[in-house]
């Protein structure tokens, strides 16, 4: 009898994993941290995770297919800069946004081509493009930030519907769309198969190259979009912004149980990962912890998550 109930409990933990951790963390913070569970803080919290959330959608695909993308932080900065410059020069918000997205698509396509076609390790490829694109961001305006003059553009970052900021709505939409893409479409399943065993996937008639290139391109576009939303929120293009953003996104995915060796990933868990990171950050700010403590805490959480995952798998195998 006790073993039976322990079995069902551990099976439940296996299934629900990070969702349980998230729930406990949320309850703990709501009870233990003053001002945490207030409307204003909830709004701030969701807004703060909205960018990580968006980009983790595509990063999930990238990791699931067995790849990596370190260039996203640079794309965020560079696309914001480019959008700002184009907007200021042409006076057209649409053109600016298109230019930013176009840049993201190009970087992604380039990454994908090098990784999938030329079979160069994704870590190295995107480590290179990360620096190149960061540099391009600085080049755009001699290393300075640019204030955006088109006020119509600020709507994107500052408006809200039913009291919820637009970027949060967008992120929610992305969660739904990419979750659907992963679970319900041939493309999503094929991406997981490619990550699980590229050789077998290829021999089963899956176009491994095309899938990888598509994923990198989507990733670039998504990062660029996040950069544009950010530019709208801060009303300027910032070449220095989002350094280390790629690690934040990858951490959230790993926390959400996405395997770095590919083949495994679920949207619900990634969402949990994003929020766990966000809540911890938020609670630490509310508790007035210094930012350098925050680094240590974040790193430790990530390590704990990975160890937990490994322990779970070991026990599953035995």
Partner 1 sequence: MTATALAFSRVSMEFPGVKALDDVSFGVAAGSVHALVGENGAGKSTLLKILSGAYTPSGGSLMIDGQPRVFTSTADALAAGVAVIYQELHLVPEMSVAENLFLGHLPQRLGLVNRKQLADAARKQLDLIGEQIEPSTKVGRLPLAQRQMVEIAKALTRGARIIAFDEPTSSLSDREVRRLFTIIRELKARGCAILYVSHRMEEIFELCDAITILRDGRHVETGALGAFSRDKVVQRMVGRELANIYNYAPRPHAGAGLVVEGVCGPGLAEPCSFAAEAGEIFGFFGLIGAGRSELLRLLYGAVKKTAGRVTFAGRELAIASPRDAIGAGVVLCPEDRKKEGVIPIRSVLENTNLSARRRHARGGILIDENWEHANATRRVEQLRVKTPSLRQLIRNLSGGNQQKVILGRWLSETVKVILLDEPTRGIDVGAKSEIYAIMQDLARQGVCVIIVSSELPEVLGVSDRIAVMRQGRIAAILDRADASEEKLLKLALPVETARAS
The residues of the shown chain that bind partner 1, judged by CB under 8 A, are 11, 183-187, 189, 192-193, 196-197, 199-207, 259, 263-264, 318
Listing DSSP states for 39-107 in one string gives HHHHHHHHHHHHHHHHHHHHHHHHHHTT----THHHHHHHHHHHHHHHHHHH--HHHHHHHHHHHHHHH
Q: Please, which residue, 1 or 40, has the CB nearer to partner 1?
A: 1
C-alpha torsion angle, residues 9, 13, 16, 17 (rounded to 10): 170
Q: Closest CB to partner 1 among 53 and 195?
A: 195
Token readout for 39 is 């409307």
The 10 Å Cβ neighbour count of residue 26 is: 16
CB of 206 to partner 1, least distance (A): 7
- Smallest distance from partner 1 to CB 123, Å: 19
- As a whole number of angstroms, the distance between CA 253 and CA 256 comes to 5
Q: Which residues, in sequence order, are bridge partners of residue 147?
A: 236
| Least distance from partner 1 to the Cβ atom of residue 7, Å | 9
With both helix axes pointing from N to C terminus, report the angle between 267-286 and 166-184 in degrees, rounded to the nearest 10. Answer: 150
Smallest distance from the beta carbon of 177 to partner 1, in angstroms?
13
**Residue 266: CB minimum distance to partner 1, A:** 13
């Amino acid at each position: 009898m006790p073993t039976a109930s322990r079995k069902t409990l551990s099976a439940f933990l296996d299934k629900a994993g990070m969702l349980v951790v998230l729930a406990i963390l949320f309850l703990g913070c709501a009870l233990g941290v003053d001002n945490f569970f207030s409307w204003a803080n909830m709004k701030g919290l969701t807004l703060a995770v909205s960018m990580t959330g968006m980009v983790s959608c595509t990063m999930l695909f990238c990791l699931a297919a067995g790849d990596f993308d370190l260039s996203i932080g640079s794309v965020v900065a560079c696309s914001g800069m480019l959008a700002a410059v184009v907007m200021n020069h042409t006076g057209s918000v649409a053109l600016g946004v298109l230019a930013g997205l176009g840049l993201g698509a190009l970087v992604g396509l380039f990454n994908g081509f090098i990784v999938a076609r030329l079979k160069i390790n994704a870590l190295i490829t995107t480590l290179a493009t990360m620096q190149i694109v960061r540099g391009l961001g600085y080049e755009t305006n001699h290393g300075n930030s640019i204030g955006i003059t088109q006020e119509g553009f600020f709507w994107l970052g500052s408006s809200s519907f039913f009291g919820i900021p637009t970027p949060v709505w967008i992120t929610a939409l992305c969660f739904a769309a990419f979750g659907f893409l992963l679970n319900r479409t041939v493309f999503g399943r094929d991406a997981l198969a490619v990550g699980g065993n590229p050789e077998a996937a290829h021999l089963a008639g899956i176009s491994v190259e095309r899938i990888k290139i598509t994923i990198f391109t989507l990733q670039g576009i998504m990062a660029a979009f996040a950069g544009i939303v950010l530019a709208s929120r801060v009303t300027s293009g910032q070449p220095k912004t989002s350094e280390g953003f790629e690690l934040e996104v990858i951490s959230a995915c790993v926390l959400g149980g996405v395997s770095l060796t590919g083949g495994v990933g679920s949207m619900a868990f990634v969402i949990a990962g994003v929020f766990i990171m966000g809540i911890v950050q938020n609670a630490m700010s509310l508790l007035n912890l210094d930012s350098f403590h925050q680094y240590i805490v974040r790193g430790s959480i990530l390590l704990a998550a990975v160890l937990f995952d490994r322990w779970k798998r070991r026990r599953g195998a035995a």
